[in-house]
Amino acid sequence: DTGVSQDPRHKITKRGQNVTFRCDPISEHNRLYWYRQTLGQGPEFLTYFQNEAQLEKSRLLSDRFSAERPKGSFSTLEIQRTEQGDSAMYLCASSLALWEQETQYFGPGTRLLVL
Amino acid sequence: AQSVTQPDIHITVSEGASLELRCNYSYGATPYLFWYVQSPGQGLQLLLKYFSGDTLVQGIKGFEAEFKRSQSSFNLRKPSVHWSDAAEYFCAVGAGGGSNYKLTFGKGTLLTVNP
């Protein structure tokens, strides 16, 4: 069990560019989550997958954001036409949801800075 | 919708002193409660969790928390703080009834430890 990994750890981009982040969950975890954390705040839920199905998206997730988990393993989060307000830490978490008492384990995060 | 309040934005304690971090939640049914810790620039590490049963739960690094339904609280405690405990602490609630997936976090409490 190597834990949840995220790549890259840091990303600096210019406004209007597209960026893509990757998350590799703990193996055999069937649920994968994306959260966003801005300075001085707690993480906020963005979206989650059960296996390859995206089951819920927060209203925080504008049309410029898209997430995929094509084979039910790793996931990608893409932000198109980045804006300065997208600057944040993007956290990925995974869990093994066999029943409702699940525990989410977080990765180290990807810190995005949009100039 | 559930919510979490962490009344203390910043707490400073001396090394060796006891610690209590407050957490109040709002949720209409039985909550699932978590404490996570975040070191600067890092992801979140799970300290402890409460699903049901004994209201006093033990976690890693010598931390414990007590669930008090009557006060809607889940305060985190440690009898003797170490310098390495300096970090930001987040309380989170996950709804029960099959929808535990979406964690709602408080804004966090930053802990400073004086030598």
For chain A, residues with pLDDT lower than 50 are none
Task: State how far the Cα of B83 lies from the Cα of B79, in Å rounded to an integer.
Answer: 13
Those residues whose C-beta lies under 8 Å from the C-beta of residue A66, and which sit 6 or more positions away, are: A77, A78, A80
Structure token pair of residue A114: 């949009």
The pLDDT tens digits for A50-67 are 999 998 888 888 999 999
Interface contact A31, partner B, CB < 8 A: yes
Tell me which chain A residues have a C-beta less than 8 angstroms from the C-beta of B103: 35, 43, 45, 104
Structure token pair of residue B52: 């049901």
Buried b (16+ CB within 10 A) or exposed e, B74-102: bbbebeebeeebbbbbbbbbbbbeeebbb
The pLDDT tens digits for B4-58 are 999 999 999 999 999 999 999 998 777 899 999 999 888 899 999 998 888 999 9
Task: State how far the Cα of B49 lies from the Cα of B83, in Å rounded to an integer.
Answer: 23
CB pair distance less than 8 Å for A101 and B51:
yes
Structure token pair of residue B56: 């006093």
